[in-house]
Structure 1
Amino acid sequence: MLFVGSRRNGRWGIPKGHGEDGEASSAAALREDSEEAGVAGIVDKTVFDTFSYRKDASPHQYHVAVHLLQVSRIAEKFPEKHVRKTRWFPVEAALREAAQPGLRMLLSRVENLHL
């Protein structure tokens, strides 16, 4: 499981962001993976799962649609390389390190897939 560190506090999570006008969530996921973590590959067009979270003390609730990505390339240079840390975790460790409770619940589903 590839995690990226939050730019605000360094806590571990998955690449996420906002879709652009008319952009499918799978295309947004592929773009965010490339920008935040430098990875590319084959993205599953079907939403694997969703979760919600709040940023620190923000009153806003953010909703995330998660797509699985089969990584085929890892770039040496990518847009957020110098503002984010990246790290591969075994799924069991990712369950402990994930910043959001909803993400931890989602990862327990991934663990059961035995990918």
Structure 2
Amino acid sequence: MLNENDQTELTNTLSGRDVAQAGALCYRRTEGGGLEILFVGSRRNGRWGIPKGRVEYGEITSAAALRKAFEEAGVVGLVDATVFGSFSYRKDTGPNHYHVSVHLLQVSRIADEFPEKSIRKTHWFPLKDAMREAARPGLRALLCRVENIDL
């Protein structure tokens, strides 16, 4: 027989939880004036997306976005405090529902060393290619919005 705590954990596991995440839409301008987007490869399946992850207790989403961009891709830059947009997704392997608040992050440089350097692929994509390569439909929609603003 399950006690109350075990039953609650089992229910959360079966039905999933809503998980708040923050993401950084990292961009830069090329010498020719084109816009490029930095993607990171998923550790699970290699699909391209933005640096993102859980918002820690007491952390604001812009700080979490900047932290994840550095941890996953070595990004140093200027993050916009305003949420640019959001998207939601579920992982193929679990019941949780993730809600990502996305911030624009103008990249000034990439650090030589960062926590996930040995386990993450990174790649700069021209905006049009990024729209095609983005793994999540909600992220593709945000990239379409980027096309219509002046960065």
TM-score under structure 2 normalisation? Answer: 0.73
5+ residue gaps, structure 1: none
TM-score under structure 1 normalisation? Answer: 0.96
The answer for the alignment partner of 1:12 in structure 2 is 48
How far is the alpha carbon of 1:53 from its aligned partner?
0.8
Distance between the aligned counterparts of 1:101 and 1:58, measured in 2?
A: 19
The answer for the alignment partner of 2:126 in structure 1 is 90
How is 1:1-40 mapped onto 2 (pairs within 5 angstroms)?
1-40=37-76
Q: Which runs of 4+ in 1 moved over 3 A?
A: none
The answer for the alignment partner of 1:48 in structure 2 is 84
Distance between the aligned counterparts of 1:63 and 1:52, measured in 2?
A: 4
The one-letter amino acid of 2:70's match is: S
The one-letter amino acid of 1:111's match is: E
Distance between the aligned counterparts of 1:80 and 1:4, measured in 2?
A: 10
Distance between the aligned counterparts of 1:21 and 1:57, measured in 2?
A: 25
* Greater share of strand: 2
Determine which of 100, 103, 106 is the counterpart of 2:136.
Answer: 100
Aligned residues, how many?
115
Point out the structure with max Rg over C-alpha.
2
How far is the alpha carbon of 1:59 from its aligned partner?
2.6
Determine which of 116, 119, 123 is the counterpart of 1:80.
Answer: 116
